[in-house]
Amino acid sequence: MPGTPFSVRFSVILLALSGFPTAFAFQAGPQKIFIEPRNRIASIAPVSAETSAHLRVDASLVLIPANVSTDTGSRVGDLRKENFRLFEDGVEKPISHFTVEETPLSIGLLLDASGSMHNKMRQAGAAAAEFFKVTDPGDEFFLVEFSDRPKLTVPFTADTEEMQKKVARTQPLGRTALLDAVQLALVQMKKARNTRKAIVILSDGADNRSRSTFYQVKNAVIESGVQVYAMGIFDAIEGKKGTPEEQNGPKLLDELTEESGGEHFRANTPDELPGISARISRELRSQYLIGYSPDDLASDGKYHRIKLQLVPPSHLPTLRVHYRPGFYAPGR
Residues whose CB is less than 8 angstroms from the CB of residue 113 and which lie 6 or more positions away in sequence, other chains included: 145, 146, 147, 170, 171, 172, 173, 174
CA dihedral over 172, 176, 180, 185, signed as positive or negative: positive
**Residue 44 domain flag:** yes
> For 215-267, what is each residue's pLDDT tens digit?
999 999 988 889 999 999 886 544 456 788 888 899 999 999 998 989 999 99
Together in a domain, 129 and 27: no
Residues of the chain with pLDDT under 50: 1-57, 237-239
Together in a domain, 33 and 71: yes
Q: What is the helix, strand, coil percentage profile of the chain, to 5?
A: 25, 30, 45
- What is the model's pLDDT at position 200? 98
Together in a domain, 181 and 252: yes
**Residue 6 domain flag:** no
Together in a domain, 175 and 60: no
Residues whose CB is less than 8 angstroms from the CB of residue 232 and which lie 6 or more positions away in sequence, other chains included: 203, 204, 205, 249, 250, 253, 264, 265, 266, 267
- What is the model's pLDDT at position 240? 57
Domain stops at, among 265, 284, 303: 284
138: closest CA among 84, 192, 87?
192
Together in a domain, 140 and 183: yes
Together in a domain, 172 and 112: yes
- What is the model's pLDDT at position 53? 31
Together in a domain, 25 and 150: no
Together in a domain, 203 and 327: no
Question: DSSP states of 205-247 as a string?
Answer: ----S-SS-HHHHHHHHHHHT-EEEEEEE--HHHHHHS-HHHH
Q: How many domains does the chain contain in total? A: 2
**Residue 63 domain flag:** yes
- What is the model's pLDDT at position 73? 75
Together in a domain, 51 and 117: no
- What is the model's pLDDT at position 303? 86
**Residue 190 domain flag:** yes
- What is the model's pLDDT at position 77? 85
**Residue 4 domain flag:** no
**Residue 212 domain flag:** yes
Task: Give the domain extent around 72.
Answer: 14-102+286-332
**Residue 34 domain flag:** yes
CATH code: domain of residue 122 = 3.40.50.410
Together in a domain, 136 and 245: yes
- What is the model's pLDDT at position 331? 61
Question: DSSP states of 69-130 as a string?
Answer: EETT--B-----GGGEEEEETTEEE-EEEEEEE---EEEEEEEE-SGGGTTTHHHHHHHHHH
Together in a domain, 168 and 20: no
Together in a domain, 277 and 317: no
pTM of the model: 0.77
